[in-house]
Amino acid sequence: MKLVRIFSAAVLAAFMLLICGCWDDYELNALFIVTGIALDSSQNPSQMDISVQIAKPHPSSEGKSDSENEPVILMNTTAPTMSDALSVFNRNSNRTLMLQHNQVLLLGKSLAEDNIIKHLDLFMRDQETRMEVLVMVVDGRAEDIINAQLEQDSISGMFLARLITDLTTASSHYQIRMIDFVSRLLDESVAPIAPIVSLKENNGKQEIVMNGMAVFDNERMIGQLTNDEVTGYIWAMGDVSRGEVSFSTEWGTAVLNISSLTAKREISFDNEKVQVNLSIKAQLHIGQISGFKYISMEELMAHLQTSAEQAIRDKIMNSFEISKTLNADIFGFGRSIYRTYPSEWKKIREEWETVYQNLELDVNVDAHIATTGQITDSLEMEEGKSAD
């Protein structure tokens, strides 16, 4: 009897393992691999223009002439929501749309400035849409980017993904995925940002260029950073492993390459004022110098070091000032305060916007020039001779 009970328990347990399984089997030639989605504002304010970019499969057994065909399939429609658009696309295509490999979510600037959060629900809720998808704002119409015929990569969605991957080797803060974007959105103090791209015509060829970053408040896009200001933001965040510091002084101009740059935050409270001490440690090496004609090597190094420190500080302060005018805490200082001083944060969270306006940032840069590259002094330098 006991044996029977054990057997039946084992059989039931085995059934538990066997009654579930993966149900969504699709053959690859029954799928359309979506590589980009573009959302644009439509003429009708309750609707939006939605375009998807699909990588077009090419039968490999056929001749080469086929590969010269269109690399992508574009589908567009106007619908009130993304879900509606997807059902329209699925109705009108002979294959199922597969969103797992979607590379970018492009938001047209007008849509972004109107309202963004109401469109994000599907991208977070659905299992097929990944939180790793890159979020970008397009200066202009987003569908233009998706339609772009690029020389570098036949699929513009893949191009943008690779562009960001390349930038990520310099700093991970260039990469704004859906998950980063949303977590910033959910945080009460931190302002979400997203890279801005735009389409450019150059000698009749289309190019996609990066134009800084868009800054959002809790609902919509409120302003933008230029590429220079983005650099300041990236440096303030630390964790940089590539990049250049360029400056010119009265003796010459120099470009120093960053081999590593780290930032450390310390927060102190002075009455009602919040002070953030940002100490930056930078490892640099000389990339290119011109000028500095009558200066010794030791002097030059000391000079470059102080100038580089100044240049880094200036850039960070510049970005900080911009963020103050937008009143958007892109650096996440609020989050840092919450993490280190939770009790203090409770006091200031209500009036964080005014606190941020009065926030004092003190940047200490400690730059170290490690090497001069393959040569020491430049061709122009005539060491030892005086200027006279």
Partner 1 sequence: MFLKYFIRKLQYITGFRKAVRTPEETHKEAHWKPEETESGTSEEKEKEPMKAELKDNLGQLLDMLGNSNDVKKHVFRFGPDNTLSGALVFIDGLADSKTITDAILRPLITTRMKGLASLKGENLLDAVSENALFSGDVETVESLSELAAGCLSGDTALLLEGCQAGLIISSKGWEKRGVSEPQSEAVVRGPREGFTENLRTNTSMIRRKIHHGKLIAEQLTVGRKTRTGICLMYLDGVANPDVVKKVKYRIENLEVDSILESGYIEEYIEDAPFSPFSTIGYSEKPDVVASRILEGRVAIVVDGTPFVLTAPMLFIESFQSTEDYYVRPLYASLVRILRFIAFFIAVFGPAVYIALTVFHQEMIPTTLLFTIANAREGTPFPVFIETAIMVITFEILREAGVRLPRPVGQAISIVGALVMGDAAVSAGLVGAPVVIAVSLTAVSGFLVPNQYDAASMLRIIMMILAALIGGYGISMGFLGLLIHLASLTSFGVPYFQGLSFSRNLEDAVVRMPLWTMVKRPKGIAYHDITRRRFFIPPLRPHQDEDGQKEN
The least CB distance from residue 60 to partner 1, in Å, is 5
Segment contacting partner 1 by CB under 8 A, of 18-26, 237-245, 306-314, 357-365: 18-26
Chain centre distance of CA 150: 21
Measured from the CB atom, the residue of 12 and 17 that comes closer to partner 1 is 17
Q: Binding string to partner 1 for residues 153 to 192, with x set by CB under 8 A, is what?
A: -----x--x-------------------------------
Q: Which of 76, 101, 260, 372 binds partner 1 (CB under 8 A)?
A: 101
Q: Which of 4, 12, 15, 21 binds partner 1 (CB under 8 A)?
A: 21
Q: Does 103 bind partner 1 (CB under 8 A)?
A: yes
The least CB distance from residue 241 to partner 1, in Å, is 24
Count the site residues for partner 1 by CB under 8 A.
Answer: 32
Measured from the CB atom, the residue of 22 and 379 that comes closer to partner 1 is 22
The least CB distance from residue 247 to partner 1, in Å, is 40
Q: Does 98 bind partner 1 (CB under 8 A)?
A: yes
The least CB distance from residue 97 to partner 1, in Å, is 12
Measured from the CB atom, the residue of 135 and 221 that comes closer to partner 1 is 135
SS (HEC) of the chain: CHHHHHHHHHHHHHHHHHCCCCCCCCCHHHEEEEEEEEEEECCCCCCEEEEEEEECCCCCCCCHHHHHCCCEEEEEEEECCHHHHHHHHHHHCCCEEECCCCCEEEEEHHHHHHCCHHHCHHHHHCCCCCCCCEEEEECCCHHHHHHCCECCCCCHHHHHHHHHHHHHCCEHHHCCEHHHHHHHHHCCCECCEEEEEEEEEECCEEEEEEEEEEEECCCCEEEEECHHHHHHHHHHHCCECCCEEEEECCCEEEEEEEEEEEEEEEEEEECCEEEEEEEEEEEEEEEEEEECCCCCHHHHHHHHHHHHHHHHHHHHHHHHHHHHHHCCECCCHHHHHHHHCHHHHHHHCCCHHHHHHHCEEEEEEEEEEEECCCCCCCCCCCCCCCCC
The least CB distance from residue 66 to partner 1, in Å, is 10
Segment contacting partner 1 by CB under 8 A, of 25-33, 45-53, 77-85, 379-387: 25-33
Taking CB under 8 A as the criterion, which residues in 37-76 touch partner 1?
55, 57-62
Segment contacting partner 1 by CB under 8 A, of 29-37, 258-266, 337-345, 363-371: 29-37
Q: Does 31 bind partner 1 (CB under 8 A)?
A: yes
Residues found near partner 1 in the complex (CB under 8 A)? 3, 6-7, 10, 17-18, 20-22, 24-29, 31, 33, 35, 55, 57-62, 98, 100-101, 103, 130, 158, 161
